[in-house]
Amino acid sequence: MLRKISSALILLWVAFGLVACGGFLPKSSDNRHNQPLSSVVQAGLRNMGSSPGEAMLVRIFKEEKTLEVWKRTTSGSFRLFKTYEICAYSGDLGPKIKEGDRQSPEGFYTITPGLMNPRSSYYLAFNTGFPNKFDRVWGRTGTDLMVHGDCSSRGCYAMTDDGIAEIYALARESFKGGNQSFQLQIFPFKMTAAKLAQKASSPHIGFWKDIKEGYDLFELTKTPPAWDVCERQYIFNAVGGGALNPLGPCPAVVQNAALTERQQADDIAYAAAVESEAQKAARLAAEAERQAAAEAAAKARGEAIGGFFSGIGNMFGGKDADIVPVMSGQPAPRPMPPLVR
């Protein structure tokens, strides 16, 4: 009976490990989700021309292991408020594909008050909203993909408890200010042409180029781009209103001359960087080939020398196993055999 109970507990533990970062603390008097923003944070917001109730945006970069909080200012554009270190994220660069793959998601997500988790077993958390419209049209699955505390991750983005407490409070105050949601942008890395070129052989390169447009738009305008899905790809700042059919044709988009110029420049830079990466790979391969050839030649010379001295030894009855060449490369002198009387 005890063995059966132990086996059941192990199965439950494994199952919990595969369903990402869900879990709730029991109801208690814990008030961690209502921690006020510190005076330092409030002063920082004032100094940048913002306030706790203003809109916010969050960007995550996997490779750099950073989470950025941006706040809207009195000018209407967003400014970077603070960058937080990510303790850990699960998996490798690339989007989450299916439940249990321990991958952390990538893409564009909309965070509403209903996705906030004040009683997370990982201190505090908010759900990324995975799978979103794009993920679902590709058949991707997964549950409870969170940004949370506790510095431990199973498909999530783990922050320090102090970090998630501050991020959670910023989101809470933004909702209180009348904002119905905030945008979460998750990227594998800073989306430069050079970095994409380094990853050109990745099976995710097409997806990354797709979300790069949203990255570029925010970089240029400092305003969250409106995103939707059509033809099974992201579309940003589409003309017209209403939700799009994720399998249907894409409509026109609002033209942005600066974006077009940037994309053209990046295409040229990307092509040059890919060529440079290919040349680098070819040079490294040639060097490795030369090194292997040199090592093979040295080994062959060593075997030839060994065979030569072995042959000399055999001329004297095979008793020269202990004869060692001197530093000159010549064989050591062999004592004369005793005279037979």
Helix/strand/coil for 109: strand
Let me know if 85 is exposed, middle or buried by CB neighbors in 10 A (0-12, 13-18, 19+). Answer: exposed
| DSSP H/E element including 325 | none
Active-site hit among 21, 87, 148, 230: 148
148 is catalytic: yes
Given the residues 21, 87, 156, 230, the one annotated as active site:
156
Identify residue 57 by its one-letter amino acid code: L
Radius of gyration of the chain (CA): 31
Distance CA 68, CA 76 (A): 18
* Contact in structure between 225 and 236 (CB atoms under 8 Å): yes
Specify the 3-state DSSP secondary structure of 265.
Answer: helix
Q: Check the CA dihedral 82-85-89-95 and report its sign.
A: positive
Structure tokens at 65: 């292991």
CA gap 234, 240 in Å, rounded: 16
Give catalytic residues, as residue numbers.
148, 156
